[in-house]
Structure 1
Amino acid sequence: MVICLKMRALVICLLLGSFVGMGAVVQADESTAPKIRVLVVDGFSNHDWKQTTAWVKGFLEKTGRFQVDVSTAPASKDSNGWDQWRPSFADYDVVVQNCNSHGGRPSWPKEVQTALEKYVRDGGGLYILHSANNAFPEWKEYNQMIGLGWRKKDFGVAITIDDKGGEVRVPAGQGGGTSHGKRMDATIMRIGEHPLHKGFPKQWKAADLEVYSYARGPAENLTVLSYAREPKTGLNFPIEWVVKYGKGRVYNSTFGHVWANASNPPAIRCAGFQTLLLRVTEWLATGKVTTPVPEDFPTAEKVSLRD
């Protein structure tokens, strides 16, 4: 009997040791997991692209989960380096697009356009950051990738959302061209249970948001994730949407406004935006969301700004 008890104790100790070892291996695997590789592309915009890139890079790298590089396009076709600027999209899991050609700024070189199309089509993730959905109206495949953008009235369909969360498609020529009113702390209403919103309240306040009315485009393979009411028209318009392009995923929203020379921009300091930035980038790369909902996430009644 004594021998049996000793043997049982030995077996238990061995099992416990195995579990402890397994735990150590799991922790080691997590700590040594490869970082998600992110490329921010910037260089020109009517917004403060330098400050925006710095904020985004800082937020992502602070988590320790992302490795962020920046590729800055020359400011114009006449600038030094224009013919040599060829970002290597294929080296990254996610591309954050922070260029805006609005106001006579250039489109990307054809070779760069083709490279981005192939990258996303082959499974890359593309994050369209705020005014990047104003860019490149003449680039057909860019419009396919972003789904909806800042476009003229006759460009393509627009989408409104009824009070039950259903989509209403507005044909080209009807409604208006894309515009927005004064920035405001807007109530965001989410639709469905997309992984990006897992654990979020049904409604939350987004700080200093531009609600785009009549964003337009082909709107193919597109899913609207959230919307807000635009005061002037009284209509609900999409705030976030995702697009399937080939094997790749694209996320597009109007979150993250930083105007030229803005100081401590509330749209960037918004805890909702910062949480989504991490979740979206992870989801674009992996199809999964593990970033938790923070305690300071905004409520339906109140925005949440971080220092």
Structure 2
Amino acid sequence: MIQVEKIDTFTGHRDCVYALEKSGENHRFFSAAGDGFVVRWNLQKPDVGDLIAKVKNSVYALAYLPQHNHLWVAQNQEGIHVIDLNTKQEIRSLKLAPSLYFDIQIYDNQAFVAGGDGVISVIDTENLSFRKHLKAANVSVRCLAINPVERELAAGYSDNTIKIFDLKTFELKKVIPAHNNSVFSIRYSPDFTLLLSGSRDARLKIWNAERDYSLEEEIVAHTFAINHLSFSPDGQRFVSCSMDKSIKVWDTEKMKLLKVIDRARHAGHGTSVNRVLWSDFENQIVSCSDDRTISVWKLHE
């Protein structure tokens, strides 16, 4: 039987917290919010936030580049800011079309940025130049995931589809009519055999990436929109978080619900849980919410 321990709550953001990202050290992570603050937190020193950057508009997406110790920040309506974490200085920026930016994924010196204008911007991470604009719909691209085994980029859209692109040629390979509402989160399993998707329709779907994305399972996982998914470091479990204020822990192999973390049982979040990050530090789970807080959880068997 799994027990949940609430380790801590980090406060400091002045608006809804939308983004969480790992850092080069397993006990540190980044957050970003509607207040434009980008903060680095230390799981060993609770609630001592280190302000990394402050931008004018809200931030929904962050991406860490380990080889340079850089943090990419997507400022809504503006574009990309690249922060050198050694100096905490912005070293470069790139203006994008005025839009919302929901996700950044980086692979092989290329950054993929998901835009509310339906465009995936492909950017060279070395010289910060555009390589390609992928436009396969006129609706928001809400989430991205990269499969280096099959050399594929998966993208979840507000037209309820998941679109699969070739990572080399950028050709659109497949369109999956995935959900009954916007696809808010997609995640490949650590072995890249499965693609999980969570949607505004509150359903969790499991697709077989080795069998042309055939549907393996569909689960009515939450009562409202699924905002985000994150796998444990060993891939044996994953977590989902939702607009219904809850976080759920699942067994990957059996696709079985193991635990619900919510306000009533565990002093969870009071409003929508926007992101969840299963950290490498002592298997702790980090979550952030519209309630402006970040919570840290530990599971005990």
Give TM-score scaled by structure 2 length: 0.30
Q: Which has the larger radius of gyration?
A: 1
Task: Judging by fraction of residues, say which structure has more helix.
Answer: 1
Task: Judging by fraction of residues, say which structure has more strand.
Answer: 2
RCO higher in structure (CA 8 A, sep ≥6):
1
Give TM-score scaled by structure 1 length: 0.30
